[in-house]
Structure 1
Amino acid sequence: MTDDPKTLVSTEWLAAHLSDPDLRILDASWYLPDMNRDARAEYDAGHIPGARFFDIDEISDTQSALPHMAPPSEKFMSRMRAMGVGDGHQVVVYDGAGIFSAARVWWLFRLMGKTDIAVLDGGLKKWKAEGRPLEDMAPILRDRHMTAQRQANLVKDVTQVAAAVKLRDWQIVDARGPARFRGEEPEPRAGLRAGHIPGALNVHYATLLNSDGTMKKGEALRAAFTDQGVDLERRIITSCGSGVTAAILSLGLEILGHRDHALYDGSWAEWGQFDQLKVETG
């Protein structure tokens, strides 16, 4: 694998750069309720040296009724400043599952105009399996100036997605599991209808990953999309349950050199609750 500090870096790369003064590491672990894991407690018990904990639910638009929507730029900047993450830093983000929630934070930084951010391939799981160092002390934080410029082209709202369904000028690609996509399995969030956005294609995020939690490469990664009917020459909106695993698809597209993609931030947590929006099953 070729390490790319703008998309994906290996555990070897991170280990070699661990003491770089302008490196900032973020633990962005986040789990679904049925996973029965406490991300903050796991961070406190042991994390990659120097890592700061990035709370996806708190560093969000807490005024929205929808889960962990992207925060206003001002909130993002103030939280990052307080965490000692700022302009000129190379950021590496990881999670405890391999590649799961880390991609969401990668996308969030990109949304804020920050491109020097990479996901740790294989995450904490791979780092630990290789016997690499951990620490249980939080780093000393010093404020660092951070500027953000929101890139509106990287995100879509419900109105824009509804227009895309009607005009068919974007492909909508849903990262949820096949049974949820087809409406055969109830949604984990109460009150949501089952099924998918009309015309959407289903690329389960897990199909982009190897068994060790690393991202597939080259032709295998490309096939994860094309085998499900995705045309990589066309524009793509990624979607999922609440905007977390959709970012894994966005990361995969970026690695493949596909630049014209955006993420539906409200995802099924939003679309699934409005009766006036059509739903397909099967």
Structure 2
Amino acid sequence: MTLAHIVSPEEAGSLKPRFVDARWFLPNDERVGRTEYDRLHIPGAVFFDIDEVATPSDNHPHLAPSPKKLANWLGAVGITPDACVVIYDEAGFFSAPRVWYLLKALGHENVHVLDGGLSAWRRVGGDVTSEVPAYEPADYPLPEKLSWPVVDREIVRHALTGRMADVVDARPAGRFKGRDPEPRPGLSSGSMPGAFNLPFSSLTGADGRFLMPDQLDMLFRDKGLDPAKPIIASCGSGISACVVLLGLAEAGWPMGTLYDGSWIDWASHPEAQIEKEGA
């Protein structure tokens, strides 16, 4: 059994793809994606800045960019709609699936996530460099029909109260249950009433590689999810929720949609309903 949207380091090398470095780190992490890219990256890779290729907001660091903004970025780095693209982050499944999801939403078919990320690439002897490549700009036209699959707080609230969709929160259990703090100062931890908790790390094995489709299907069913019901994925700020969306696609389930604002948007609302374990 193989994965449809994920490639191993060995497979990636044979594809001769356009590599996209999508490293991004939580606010309480000293590392910065751009700095890590400048230090070392896969030869030929371009850096996708999740905080820059975004919709500006006073309350959220990286709401999804408009389709036009994303297409403009792709064209600026010489990526065309028919290009094979492989996206990676540090360990494989944290921020890279966010960029994968955005490209899939744009209609880019030939896009994959590097299994195990840059760490796995280096473990098998893959080359790295600090040289920043230069590409001729290209035209990246927008598809004629495009449905941007992100939802806002009101849609999520109605989904929860009306049970019209399963809302899955990919944050670690401690934050979901309100035991551990959020990485953003002043933001309460806890959960949306009625949401399911499926930490993004549960979709990978002990070796950091993604679970196989049958394992993913079992994981989702064991959590009480229904493949016939729409699924909305959330997390802290819309990054690791996309690991769940990638997992749904690999399991053969409907893709699901992203709560773009995620917990930042929910918990910062003055009328936010927040559940905490034992409260």
Same topology, TM > 0.5: yes
More displaced 10-residue stretch of structure 1: 256-265 or 174-183? 256-265
Aligned residue runs from structure 1 range 59-70, under 5 A:
59-70=53-64
**8 Å CA contact retained: 1:114, 1:148:** no
Which of 209, 212, 219 is the matching residue for 1:214? 209
Determine the structure 2 residue equivalent to 1:136: 130
Shift of 1:102: 0.2
Structure 1 residue ranges without an equivalent (≥5): none
Count of aligned positions: 276
Does residue 36 of the first structure (1) align with residue 30 of the second (2)? yes
**8 Å CA contact retained: 1:98, 1:212:** no
Structure 2 residue ranges without an equivalent (≥5): none
Determine the structure 1 residue equivalent to 2:101: 107
Change (3 A) 1:64 1:70: farther
Shift of 1:111: 2.2
Determine the structure 1 residue equivalent to 2:2: 2
One-letter amino acid of the counterpart of residue 39, structure 2: A
CA distance in 2 between partners of 1:28 and 1:153 (Å): 20
| TM-score, normalised via structure 2 length | 0.93
One-letter amino acid of the counterpart of residue 107, structure 2: G
Change (3 A) 1:3 1:196: closer
Shift of 1:221: 1.9
**8 Å CA contact retained: 1:126, 1:212:** no
One-letter amino acid of the counterpart of residue 219, structure 1: D
One-letter amino acid of the counterpart of residue 89, structure 1: A
CA distance in 1 between partners of 2:3 and 2:61 (Å): 32
Change (3 A) 1:151 1:268: farther
**8 Å CA contact retained: 1:86, 1:146:** yes
Determine the structure 2 residue equivalent to 1:16: 14
More displaced 10-residue stretch of structure 1: 125-134 or 140-149? 140-149
Deviations 1:115-158 (A, max 9, x none): 22111111111000111111221112111111234843621111
Which of 168, 174, 195 is the matching residue for 2:169? 174
CA distance in 2 between partners of 1:3 and 1:262 (Å): 20
CA distance in 1 between partners of 2:169 and 2:53 (Å): 24
Shift of 1:34: 2.4
Determine the structure 2 residue equivalent to 1:147: 141
| TM-score, normalised via structure 1 length | 0.92
Shift of 1:201: 0.4
CA RMSD of aligned residues (A): 1.7
Change (3 A) 1:76 1:130: same
**8 Å CA contact retained: 2:245, 2:255:** no
More displaced 10-residue stretch of structure 1: 149-158 or 186-195? 149-158
Aligned residue runs from structure 1 range 156-175, under 5 A:
156-175=151-170
**8 Å CA contact retained: 2:92, 2:113:** no
CA distance in 2 between partners of 1:221 and 1:256 (Å): 6
More displaced 10-residue stretch of structure 1: 228-237 or 218-227? 218-227
Does residue 202 of the first structure (1) align with residue 200 of the second (2)? no
One-letter amino acid of the counterpart of residue 62, structure 1: P
Deviations 1:68-93 (A, max 9, x none): 10012222122211111122111110
CA distance in 1 between partners of 2:58 and 2:68 (Å): 16
Determine the structure 2 residue equivalent to 1:83: 77
Give the 4+ runs in structure 1 shifted more than 4 A: none
CA distance in 1 between partners of 2:204 and 2:142 (Å): 31
Instruction: Give the share of equivalent positions with the same residue, in percent.
Output: 39
Name the SS for the 2:28 alignment partner.
helix
CA distance in 1 between partners of 2:139 and 2:239 (Å): 27
Change (3 A) 1:3 1:185: closer
Determine the structure 1 residue equivalent to 2:89: 95
CA distance in 2 between partners of 1:109 and 1:67 (Å): 19
